[in-house]
Structure 1
Amino acid sequence: MHISMEMMNNILVVKLTGELDHHSAESTRKKIDKAIMENNSKNIIMDLKDLSFMDSSGIGLIMGRYKNISEKNGELLVISDNPYVDRILKMSGLLKIIKAYPKLDIALKNI
């Protein structure tokens, strides 16, 4: 798992690459939460396009960040044009509460 983060227009953009599973979810969560606190981020965009695998731990990671950001009256969006990840997001019900976009520029316009 590789994670990169940057601030764009006061929005924390988190790009995840590789496998988001029970082996990587906890360390990834800690890194994201630290960046949220350090940047006082209210809104997050999670880029999932380059994930090759995601299990229920990944769903839990996204849900936890969504809950934390919602408590700050912020918004969490995801970017995915990966059919595998899109299927998991849809099956989990996440797409009923979290908006998904195919590209970063579109997500940035809609946050």
Structure 2
Amino acid sequence: MELEIERIGVNLIVRIDGDLDLHTVDTLRERIEERLTGELGIQNMILNLKKVDFIDSSGLGFIIGRYKQISNHGGKLKIINVNDSIKQVFKLSGVLNIVDVFTDEQEALQAV
């Protein structure tokens, strides 16, 4: 799993390359937490899942946890570039009821 994190203004963009599962979520959580606690003024997070092909319940828990963390501070979590199979998992799990999904980073940045 590879991870690229970029800050644009008050937005933290997280680009994930690999599966979101039991084997990867702890590392993801730690790296994102470092940025959130180490930098002042981050309000929103955009998760780019363009290179994610698989997500399990641990990955869903990771996303819901980031949603709670960001929304508790008045921010928004946006998800972009979701393939059809992961979108179906989001639909069945209820993630689509709490998180907005966009097609690309520009669209998500304009919506926050």
Flag whether TM exceeds 0.5 (same fold): yes
For this pair of structures, how many residues does the alignment match?
Answer: 111
More strand by share: 1
RMSD: 1.0
Residue aligning to 1:75: 76
The structural deviation recorded for 1:9 is: 2.4
Give 5+ residue unaligned stretches, structure 2.
none
Residue aligning to 1:100: 101
The structural deviation recorded for 1:62 is: 0.6
Which residues in structure 2 correspond to 1:22-101 (within 5 Å)? 22-40=22-40, 41-101=42-102
The amino acid of 1:106's aligned partner reads E
Residue aligning to 2:7: 7
Using the TM superposition, name which of 33-42 and 57-66 deviates more.
33-42
TM-score, structure 2 as length reference: 0.94
3-state DSSP of counterpart to 2:74: coil
CA distance, structure 2, for counterparts of residue 5 and residue 78 of structure 1: 14
3-state DSSP of counterpart to 2:22: coil
TM-score, structure 1 as length reference: 0.94
Q: Percent identity?
A: 34
Q: Which runs of 4+ in 1 moved over 4 A?
A: none
